[in-house]
Amino acid sequence: MKTLKTEYLIIGNSAAGVACIEGIRKVDKTGSIAVISDENIFNYSRPLISYFLAGKVKKRAMPFRDKKFYSRNNVKLVLGNTAEKLDTKKRIAYLSHGEKVVFNKLLIATGGSPIIPEIKGSRLDGVFAFTKFGDAVAIKDYIKKHYIKHAVVIGGGLIGLKAVEALIELGIKVSIVELADRILSTTFDTKASGIIQDALRKAGCNIFTKNTVAEILSKGEDKKVTSVTLKTRKQVPADLVITAIGVSPNIQLVKNTSISINRGILVDEAMQTNVKDIYAAGDVCEKNIPIWPNAFKQGRIAGENMASGNAEYTGSIAMNSVELCGIPTISIGKTSLEQDKYEILEMRKKEESIYKKIVLENNHIVGCIFVGDIERAGIYTGLIINRVDISNIKDKLLEEDFGVLALPEKYRKHLVGDVGLEV
Amino acid sequence: MKRIRIDEKYCMGCRLCEVHCIVQHSKTKNILKTYMGEYPKPAPRILVEEKGYITFALQCRHCEDAPCLDACMTGAMYRDKETGAVLCNEDKCVGCWMCIMVCPFGVISRSSDKKIASKCDLCMGEDIPVCVKNCPNEALKYEDSKD
């Protein structure tokens, strides 16, 4: 059995894994680093797969760090290999190809796996998940080989809708099936969802809400998908089906070890698990909000701490930015609460598909939605993260020229303190 | 590392910095052609904020702990090794607007064709950024930062 010895072992090579390399190297320039990835591509950005499917981004533009990144940081990259077993006492990871890796510090950044709905017919040809580069390649191949006129996307969340957008781009007629009463129900309120739904319908999509796919069907003995039957017994044509109902943490590796898990891996503020020197970051963690910036930040903090740094993860708020049908949208924090304890500020320009909403709780912003006009949205993110009292600027928050000048003086000074701005 | 320092008390709100920034980031770098011949019209990467007599010009602060770097999913946003500036590789940017979502200064915007992120690049290649060079009242200065 081949044995590899390394100071740092990182399992997973997406946002958290790569950020961890950067975090380690910030503190420790020389300690040996090995990265294990079950995929066969040296690096790529997962959120770009919808752009790849649509043909907007070529394969060579998929990496978010170049090839030299690994050699420059003196990282041994092991591709197409899975960590299958973990001995937390002896600090050994056993790989699927028979090798073992002896490590001193470990980061588990194995991400999440798509939840495949248990529907009859979900194993038919032409039914795909949509989270990895391999999925996008397989879908592309399938579209090339077969005449695809209709597609059904199960799940109207972010991943599902980015798939929808790519399929529209390819000239395919798409039907979206969503369990909730509207698409993007976890990040948007009804008005924001409505604007995007209208735009999708205008682009030729069918949207079925409060509905599910009961069965995926093929014709006769053929294994190729041809249609789906909805819960409401409606038959919808489908030469291609993409399932995007969510992801769950990839915790296979740590099951039956001493590492504490619930739905995901439990970590402290340093991103360390209950086992000393074993860290976890990104979508594999419990209660993580699965978005790129969070995974990246957690990975970097874990890396710094693995290299005896002293970084702390102070938590994060749900936020997302996505452009659909040419309409940019950003949602931050709590967005669709209608209870009395929240105060809502709103602005709507119907003809331009512009909608802005700010949710206030005790004179603090706790959530925002921006549709159609996202300029300077980050200022609001800053106000939420820094828990700034906005009582004195409440009336200015939705003004056209709202900016740094309008911010409370104390916060403005805090914001610009070290960066050379005397305002 | 050199940074642009903003001195609000000297800013007259003349917006010459915006004009020169637009020209500097235009195809021709010629003020007449920029305004009359280029479509879409290039947008400034500096923004003058104004309320009554208080005005100041604001551009990317090239933060030491820059949230846009963590948020960028394509690797387009990067820190220049030599200058420490936060720059956007326009070939890599796909316009996901994560950077706009996290920048607390609100100084990253959509390019005028709305396809990629647009931000201050400290006029890479110039000795002094054009906004500083052309500020008539030294409200903008190019100075060594503390770090």
**Chain B residues within 8 A of A382 when measuring between CB atoms:** 104
Q: Which residues contact A335 (CB under 8 A, 6 or more apart)?
A: A187, A188, A189, A192, A357, A359, A367, A368, A369
Q: Is residue A43 part of a domain?
A: yes
Does residue B79 sit at the A interface (CB-CB below 8 Å)?
no
Half-sphere exposure of A423 (CA within 13 A, CB side): 31
Q: Tell me, what CATH number does A357's domain have?
A: 3.30.390.30
Q: Is residue A313 part of a domain?
A: no
Tell me which of A285, A306, A327 is where a domain ends. Answer: A306
pLDDT digits (tens, 9 = 90+) for A207-266: 999 999 999 999 988 899 999 999 999 999 999 999 999 999 999 999 999 999 999 999
Q: Is residue A186 part of a domain?
A: yes
How far apart (Å, rounded) are the C-alpha atoms in residues A321 and A293?
Answer: 11
Q: What is the mean pLDDT of residues A303-307?
A: 98
Q: Tell me, what CATH number does A234's domain have?
A: 3.50.50.60
For residues A296 and A19, the answer to whether their CB atoms sit within 8 Å is yes
A167, A268: one domain: no
* Interface predicted TM-score (ipTM): 0.95
Q: Is residue A118 part of a domain?
A: no
Q: What is the mean pLDDT of residues A79-99?
A: 96
Least confident range of A91-100, A139-148, A308-317: A308-317
Q: Is residue A314 part of a domain?
A: no
Say if pTM beats, i.e. exceeds, 0.90: yes
Own/partner pairs for A216-220, CB < 8 Å, 24+ apart?
A: A216/A119, A216/A120, A216/A121, A216/A122, A216/A124, A216/A127, A216/A241, A217/A121, A218/A121, A218/A124, A218/A125
Q: Which residue of B has its CA nearest to A383?
A: B104
- Minimal CA separation from A25 to chain B, in Å: 15
Please provide the average confidence, as pLDDT, over all residues in chain B. Answer: 92
Q: What is the pLDDT of residue A370?
A: 98
Q: Is residue A257 part of a domain?
A: yes
- B75 to A376: CB separation less than 8 angstroms, yes or no: no
Q: Which residue of B has its CA nearest to A404?
A: B105
Does residue B28 sit at the A interface (CB-CB below 8 Å)?
no
Q: Is residue A122 part of a domain?
A: no
- Minimal CA separation from A94 to chain B, in Å: 30
pLDDT digits (tens, 9 = 90+) for A163-211: 999 999 999 999 999 999 999 999 999 999 999 999 999 999 999 999 9
Q: Is residue A311 part of a domain?
A: no
A259, A356: one domain: no
State the total domains in chain A: 3
Tell me which of A281, A306, A331 is where a domain ends. Answer: A306
A281, A349: one domain: no
**Chain B residues within 8 A of A419 when measuring between CB atoms:** 3, 61-64, 145
Decide if pLDDT at A419 tops 80.
Answer: no
pLDDT digits (tens, 9 = 90+) for A3-59: 999 999 999 999 999 999 999 999 999 999 999 999 999 999 999 999 999 999 999
Measured over the CA atoms of residue A369, residue A285, residue A302 and residue A252, the dihedral's sign is negative
Percent of chain A topping pLDDT 70: 98
A107, A71: one domain: yes
Range of the domain at A172: 127-243
- Minimal CA separation from A10 to chain B, in Å: 19
A234, A170: one domain: yes
How far apart (Å, rounded) are the C-alpha atoms in residues B78 and A199?
Answer: 34
Structure tokens at A397: 């928050």
Bond into B40 cis (ω within 30): yes
- Which domains does chain B carry? 2-144 (3.30.70.20)
C-alpha distances in angstroms, B4 versus A376, A422, B8, B16, B55? 20, 11, 13, 16, 16
Q: Which of A376, A401, A409 to mutate to test the interface with B (most CBs of B within 10 A)?
A: A376
From the list B140, B144, B117, the residue with the least C-alpha distance to A375 is B117
A89, A132: one domain: no
A185, A137: one domain: yes
A38, A58: one domain: yes
Please provide the average confidence, as pLDDT, over all residues in chain A. Answer: 94
Q: Which helix (H) or strand (E) holds A134?
A: helix A133-145
More confident position, A274 or A350: A274
A131, A235: one domain: yes
A222, A264: one domain: no
**Chain B residues within 8 A of A69 when measuring between CB atoms:** none
- Please identify among residues 32-71 of chain B the ones whose CB lies closer than 8 Å to any CB of chain A: 47, 49-51, 54, 56, 58, 61-64, 67, 70-71
Residue type, B46: I
Q: What is the pLDDT of residue A423?
A: 47
Show the low-confidence residues of chain B (pLDDT under 70).
146-147
From the list A192, A162, A200, the residue with the least C-alpha distance to A354 is A192
Does residue B116 sit at the A interface (CB-CB below 8 Å)?
no
Tell me which of A243, A271, A295 is where a domain ends. Answer: A243
How far apart (Å, rounded) are the C-alpha atoms in residues A164 and A153?
Answer: 7
Band of the pLDDT at A340, cuts 50, 70, 90?
confident
A192, A238: one domain: yes
A189, A254: one domain: no
